């Protein structure tokens, strides 16, 4: 009250509560322990009948996603229900969905607590990317321990699922920063941790040495003053779990990046649409390049495609084309033709 009086503020007594141990504020319950979800929202979900169409599924996910910020890995309980929203799926509520729905409601009876955000304390952001999802958790130093301030996760789009793993990890990093923008923007410094060691090395490179997709992601992140560190996956439990059980599929600006990337290739390289399609078809038949693309997605076995391994951070796949930075990797069957064109004085492609 002294602070309020000192700063010349006035309060409406009809809108104030004094001497209470907890209070509802903007849909959350605030207490000395931290922030908890509104019990009424949990009860509303527990009483909800199963959905009868995709609109009903959207309604369920809308309510649960609000409470999801309190519960790590909540969306792991919604894997099959979420798939009902896919464009190519028919709505059919089965016993599998019913069991998942019951388990989800049981899980929501717990009351996890998030600590209050304090900008004067150390902050750490953990991010991770799985084969089809992104996860992030904002942590704050509290009594020599890291405690959660907020959780976030989302599924990747179909286009994002085709990214190389290094690009997925970079996308996860950008997602975490943008998702918690209101917490981390303007901080003089904070730590971000990843379990993908190559990502730590690649962000130290000059932009010209990165693939176009990573360039764009890095440019989005330049407004944040963070230090990226490597943490083994076994210690990155929360972000890893969130990425493997993403919530909804958000519209991503990277979809526009893909088209921009293709337009860039078409503009910079003197090749027709027909020639590009010819390269795409040849790439699909090239055993070595297909193995490289597979390794980019699933991991690089020891000794596999050694000539590409050392530049794997520079590789990306866009609409069937394998790129090294912003240059097309030519399939074996077309290399002689390309070399001949170069020797004849035509501008070529690497």
- Give all domains of the chain, ordered by start, each with its CATH number: 17-107 (no CATH), 123-244 (3.30.420.10), 269-343 (no CATH)
C-beta separation of 297 from 160 below 8 A: no
C-beta separation of 310 from 161 below 8 A: no
pLDDT for 297: 76
pLDDT for 262: 46
pLDDT for 251: 46
Give the pairing type, strands 190-194 and 123-129: parallel
* Threshold 0.85, pTM exceeds: no
Listed in sequence order, the residues at least 6 apart from 295 whose beta carbon sits closer than 8 Å to its beta carbon are: 301, 304, 305, 308, 312
Reading the chain (350 residues) residue by residue, the pLDDT tens digits are: 889 889 999 999 888 888 888 888 766 778 877 777 666 656 656 677 788 888 888 877 776 665 565 666 666 677 888 889 888 888 999 999 999 888 777 766 555 567 788 888 999 999 988 888 888 888 999 888 888 888 788 888 888 888 888 889 999 999 999 999 989 999 999 999 998 888 998 888 887 788 888 888 998 898 999 999 998 877 676 666 556 655 555 544 444 444 444 444 444 445 566 778 888 899 999 988 888 888 887 777 766 677 788 777 778 787 788 888 767 888 888 888 777 766 655 444 44
Residue-by-residue DSSP string for 256-317: HHHHHHHHHHHHHS---HHHHHHHHHHHHH-HHHHHHHHHHHH---TTTTHHHHTTGGGEEE
């Amino acid at each position: 009250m002294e602070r309020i009086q000192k700063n010349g503020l006035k309060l409406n007594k009809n809108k104030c509560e004094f001497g209470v141990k907890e209070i509802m504020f903007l849909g959350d319950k605030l207490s000395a322990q931290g922030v908890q979800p509104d019990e009424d929202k949990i009860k509303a979900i527990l009483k909800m009948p199963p959905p009868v169409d995709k609109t009903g599924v959207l309604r369920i996910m809308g309510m649960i996603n609000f409470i999801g910020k309190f519960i790590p890995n909540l969306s792991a309980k919604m894997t099959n229900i979420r798939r009902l929203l896919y464009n190519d799926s028919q709505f059919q509520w089965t016993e599998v969905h019913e069991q998942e729905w019951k388990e989800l409601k049981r899980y929501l009876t717990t009351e996890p607590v998030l600590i209050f955000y304090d900008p004067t304390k150390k902050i750490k952001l953990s991010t991770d990317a799985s084969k089809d999802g992104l996860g992030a958790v904002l942590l704050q130093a509290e009594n020599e321990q890291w405690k959660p301030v907020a959780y976030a996760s989302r599924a990747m789009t179909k286009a994002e699922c085709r990214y190389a793993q290094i690009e997925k990890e970079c996308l996860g990093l950008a997602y975490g920063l943008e998702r918690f923008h209101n917490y981390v923007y303007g901080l003089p410094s904070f730590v971000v941790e990843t379990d993908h060691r190559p990502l730590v090395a690649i962000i130290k490179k000059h932009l010209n040495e990165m693939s176009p997709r990573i360039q764009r992601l890095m440019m989005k992140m330049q407004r944040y003053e963070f230090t990226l560190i490597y943490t083994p996956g076994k210690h990155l439990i929360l972000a890893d779990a969130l990425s493997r059980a993403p919530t909804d599929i958000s519209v991503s600006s990277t979809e526009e990046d893909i088209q921009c990337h293709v337009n860039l290739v078409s503009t910079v390289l003197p090749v027709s649409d027909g020639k590009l399609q010819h390269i795409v078809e040849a790439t699909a038949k090239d055993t070595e390049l297909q193995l490289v693309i597979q390794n980019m997605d699933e991991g690089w076995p020891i000794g596999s495609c050694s000539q590409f391994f050392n530049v794997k951070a520079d590789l990306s796949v866009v609409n069937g084309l394998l790129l090294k930075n912003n240059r097309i990797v030519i399939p074996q069957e077309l290399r002689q033709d390309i070399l001949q064109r170069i020797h004849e004085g035509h501008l070529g492609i690497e």
